[in-house]
Structure 1
Amino acid sequence: MLLSTLDRQIKLISKGYSGRQQDFAILKDMLAGICLKNYTLHVDLGFQGIKNLGISERIFIPFKASKNNPINAWQRAINRLLARERVAVENALAKMKSFFILRQENRMRKKVKLEEVFQLCAGLANFKSLNNALIIKQ
């Protein structure tokens, strides 16, 4: 799991977890002791109980449809607007996956080394995007 800004800069990557883990449990572990009161958070439907944690006052989560309670046109429009904001995180992930080491099967025995690889790829992706944003005048 990672936190990124709207300009696709990766700010925080969670530690690695073995086996299956719920996104919400990883988020609670990742944000323990971090104050995000001044930030706006855009999350997906995997974080249904995040508003109860009191992490931030500005949390945007899409509406969830169920079999008996479908969402209406207004809620669908809100969900589309929220998805346009959350796509920055997906683009940040795509920047990291441009590195070949993250696209192949992991055979590292030590989980710490894999976490370091993720950190390095995130740093290189951030550096690469900063260099693309600079305008060099001659």
Structure 2
Amino acid sequence: MLSIWLQTLPTAGAAWIYWPPYQRVRFSGEESVHAVLLDGPTQDFNLMWRRDLLQTEVLHRPLVGIMLFFADPCSAWAIHLLAGQASFGRDSGLPPLAVGDTAWLSAATRTRYVLDGGGELLAIRVSPQPEH
């Protein structure tokens, strides 16, 4: 939850109250969930993926200066800027990030992305599920 006052009531009978900023809730898409706004509008970041094909890791990090991300054929990153400003530099071909922007970092060969800025971000690593 990016900014919200929300009460969530899953069918299991449990109830939670989430307060801003940046509280997290995780549930499977098959689960029936009911939410009630307690006050004001909501801003959410929803991550949905095929659990049988992909695995994800969500990191909430401060951005102070330079941060490196490595993408390759088996892993990619979604970078979502929560606060501040950031840029990948002219050589990357990517536009600067403003609050609310998301960049998708993927590559056919191992590639380093250099993000420079200040603020807060969500870094989501996406990779294939290991074969059983």
Q: Which structure shows the bigger proportion of residues in strand conformation?
A: 2
TM above 0.5 = no
TM-score, structure 1 length as denominator?
0.21
TM-score, structure 2 length as denominator?
0.22
